[in-house]
Amino acid sequence: MIIRWTNSVADALLSLRVHWLSTAFGLVSVAAAVAAFSTTLLVSGAMTDVLGKRFEYLGRDAMTVSVADGENHNLPMSISTYRALARIAGISAIAPIIELSGKNSRASHGKHSVVTQAIATTSDYFRVSSLSLKFGRGLAVADDQRATKTCVIGSELAARLGLQNNPLGQYMQLGEASVRVIGVLAPTMESGKFISLDYVVIISMETARAIGVDTGQIDRALVMPSNTAFAGDLRDRMARLVSTREWAEKGKGGLSARVETRDQLIKASKEASEKQGLVVSLIASLSLLVSSIGIMNVAYLGVTERFREIGLRRAVGASSVGIQRLLLIESLLVSIGGDFIGIGISMLAAQPVARLFGIQQALPLDFSKIGLVSLLAIGITVGFCLAPARRAATVDPVAALRSD
């Protein structure tokens, strides 16, 4: 039996070499589908990890307060609502967040320029968050009181701007304004250029006002309760105040306050990312299915082209089972070869693709996912080639030899 299978594999390899054009088409189809599927899984898995870490910098008991419309879309909160929120009893620290956009999200130093995440806040931001510093200091009360035009930056951003050696006291450009670096955050070991604090620029609200940012509205507030035992009551009181004031100021109903804890934010972010990853994976699996259908059509065409060859094999003693086994081994070899090529391509392409989504750190190789894709590709390819193999097994040798 071993000799029989060995001879079948040798025959299949010879046949694939003779019919090199259809072999090449099959390899390219499987490799492209496997590469797309594997790359999608690797990148979507990394994105899930990135989004899950997005809010881990917050203190364990911290909460975010924001405004949403009836369709759950984020809306800005007025600064007067934020100030009223800050007067509520039971708050240990509160910090506003304004996410800068446009030209104010571009950091540059010398010939280096990076589009990054820039936020305006207050010194309480460093009390609410669990951030630590590698160099220098964070924002201080003095920065809240006047436009000192200072900033704290992420460690990776400092490296990208060429400030990693001696960043403190040096000036960089944020948009068109010149700001002085007073601190560098410790590396967070996160990935994600546009959501990682390794790439952030933090300035005070007064500095933001001085460089032309509208500070009359904020994107959200970060709150640290003074007593976690009454956090639920504090959450209800903040929600009522924000909803009431925003309804009155914006003059329309349907607005609501969204108060979320750190754990809720992390969980919701991961769930959203996993759903997006599932949709993308389904689309990638369709490409694998389409490529398998293409290989099946090539196999049918191959049976037609090799009609006389198959008839001759049958005439000299090959059984229908042997013919079927030969074609299935050919499809198996093509799928395995395409698998290896596709996985190699995905390993080379995954990191550049991830960087397009802002993921900078090296992607871990998830061999369980890669193995799953490989087995799925082999199974689908061989499965779709069963019908052409059965058709070849039923070829009448007499009719085949008489055909032109």
Q: DSSP string of 266-277?
A: HHHHHHHHHHHH
Q: Above pLDDT 90, what percent of the chain?
A: 19
Q: Do 114 and 174 touch, CB atoms closer than 8 A? A: no
CA distance 128 to 94: 7
- For residues 39-65, b (16+ Cβ closer than 10 Å) or e, as one string? bbbbbbbbbbbbbbbbbbbbbebbbbb
Confidence band of 272 (pLDDT split at 50, 70, 90): low
CA 263 and chain centroid, separation:
20
Q: Which residue has the higher pLDDT, 102 or 149?
A: 149
| Residue 290: CB atoms within 10 Å | 12
pLDDT of 24 over the 80 cut: yes
Of 63-77, 143-157, 365-379, the poorest mean pLDDT is in: 365-379
Is the model's pLDDT at 16 over the cut of 70?
Answer: yes
CA atoms of 146 and 312, how far apart (whole Å): 92
Q: Could you give the angle at which helices 2-18 and 20-52 cross, rounded to 10 degrees?
A: 100
Helical packing angle, 307-315 and 262-305, nearest 10°: 70
- The alpha carbon torsion through 39, 42, 43, 48 (nearest 10 deg) reads 150
Each residue of 195-243: pLDDT tens digit? 467 888 999 999 999 998 999 999 999 898 888 777 888 888 998 888 8
What is the DSSP code (8-state) at residue 139? -
User: Quick one: which H or E segment has residue 93?
Assistant: strand 91-100
The pLDDT value recorded for residue 202 is: 94
Q: What is the mean pLDDT of the chain?
A: 79
The pTM for the full model equals 0.63
What does the block give as tokens for 5?
A: 């299978």
Q: How confident is the model at residue 94 (pLDDT cuts 50, 70, 90)?
A: very high
Q: What is the pLDDT of residues 316-370, one digit of tens each?
A: 777 777 778 877 888 888 888 888 888 888 888 877 777 776 665 566 666 777 7
Tokens of 122: 């207050």
